[in-house]
A and B are shown apart, each in its own frame.
Chain A
């Protein structure tokens, strides 16, 4: 139920946004009653989430940018996005 399909377009729903953490540094995903510090991988993924790009396109872009195998990247992105989706921090357009 949480798995994101190849042609799904993920987006951050209203009430979920990314901000700079002025005090601790880095970027933070702010969601209802929750703040998640993003690591470099999380940032790279969410930078590409805009409601237009499909899951497949995001994976391909990341694989090209970091010269990594698509299969490996797809698994990482899927795991990351499913985690967010289970908290409704991320939704998809089908």
Chain B
């Protein structure tokens, strides 16, 4: 199999974040500031990435605006020829900082949305006043004409506000709305009982998105990630494991995807020790599930193996206890019963509290 270079890089500049969303995709063991790569190393990584064929860079976190050098990093990425995309909650951005980011060549902003009003958004984000500050920044982005995607993370607590969410995205001038139903990795697994939508919500969401998509054609584009526990087949793993995207954690570990660290037997190389190219082409973690040879049955003999690539390795790890198993979300998986059980459990639990994402003091 000939391995092609990655197209997109996700740079998790930091795990620090003023918000504490209970579905954060960062690992449970968050890294502190002292573990983060310095400016120079990030700049080197961006240049290596561009040279090996990466076109798109997402500056992410945690909250990337928590890095005081965000503007310098953006400028360096832009100079390297990368398309720069800032993935932010908006907290930590100011008009002055936006001036500097625009000057530095920032191409696009993806703004997260926790809810359509302060009541729900600040509860979900665990940060009082966050919604109002976010809306201020959203208005700034609109006024400046900075290309905007709104990333609405949806779950049981806010799916009933989907129509309002769509109207809000249109009002804010977003070109694109991601209706991203929570995927159960990292912190979201701790909050399944609060986050898992009901089957009714799931069906309603599909209809609402389909209707809005038709109505808003040419005005706003949609990307819909439905909740996959109810699906017949799993969500496709990107274009297959280690085929298109590369992730860098705040301390420089190079990951095939943001959740890959949940697979305990994989070892990850660091940009501190090796070149990005070496890691991408020869790294053990990258080659572990590349292509289709690693697949067990039913995937190996399945007509969908080039469509969904056996689903998510991290989900197979989490639910089947084996990262090389068929994703248990798949109705053809021998472990599918575990998903049905998880669904029933999550919907019957009565707690009304989130487990918020926090930096543990020992880390």
A residues whose Cβ falls under 8 Å from a Cβ of B: 1-2, 13-16, 19, 21-24, 28, 30, 32-35, 85-88
Contact = CB atoms under 8 A, between A and B. Distances in A.
Interface string B206-239: 0000000000011111000000000000000000
The size class of the interface chain B forms with chain A is 20 to 34
B55 A21 contact: yes
Contact of A14 (B147, B218, B219): B147
29 contacts: A14-B145, A15-B107, A15-B108, A15-B146, A15-B147, A21-B55, A22-B53, A23-B51, A23-B52, A23-B53, A24-B5, A24-B53, A30-B83, A30-B107, A32-B85, A32-B107, A32-B147, A32-B149, A33-B56, A33-B58, A33-B108, A33-B176, A35-B56, A35-B83, A85-B218, A86-B217, A86-B218, A88-B176, A88-B220
Contacts of B81: 19, 22
B190 interface: no
Nearest to B175: A88
The 8 closest A-B pairs by CB, nearest first: A15-B147, A23-B53, A88-B175, A32-B108, A35-B55, A30-B83, A1-B217, A87-B221
B238 to A, nearest CB: 13
A57 B221 CA distance: 28
Given A15-B108, A32-B108, A2 B56 contact: no
Contacts of A1: 217-218
Nearest to A3: B218
Given A15-B107, A88-B175, A88-B176, A30 B217 contact: no
Given A32-B149, A33-B85, 9 more contacts: A1-B217, A13-B147, A23-B51, A30-B56, A32-B110, A32-B147, A35-B8, A86-B218, A87-B176
A54 B175 CA distance: 23
B116 interface: no
Interface in B35-51: 51
Interface of B: 5, 7-8, 51-53, 55-56, 58, 81, 83, 85, 107-108, 110, 145-147, 149, 175-176, 217-221
A17 to B, nearest CB: 8
**Listed residue (B7, B55, B85, B147) with the most chain A CB atoms within 10 angstroms of its CB:** B55
Contacts of B107: 15, 30, 32
Interface of A is mostly: loop
A65 B220 CA distance: 34
A23 B5 contact: yes
Contacts of A85: 218
A33 B218 contact: no
Contact of A88 (B8, B51, B53, B221): B221
Contacts of B149: 32-33
A22 B7 CA distance: 12
Contacts of A87: 176, 221
Contacts of A86: 217-218, 221
Nearest to A91: B218
Nearest to B4: A24
Nearest to B109: A32
Contact of B218 (A2, A16, A28, A30): A2
A91 to B, nearest CB: 8
Contacts of A88: 175-176, 218-221
A21 B85 CA distance: 18
A2 B81 CA distance: 31
A68 B53 CA distance: 36
Nearest to B244: A35
A33 B110 contact: yes
Contacts of A34: 56
A20 to B, nearest CB: 9
Given A15-B107, A15-B147, A24-B53, A32 B218 contact: no
A14 B109 CA distance: 12
Contact of B176 (A23, A24, A30, A32): A32
Contacts of B55: 19, 21, 28, 30, 35
Contacts of B221: 86-88
A37 to B, nearest CB: 10
Contacts of B110: 32-33
Contacts of A2: 217-218
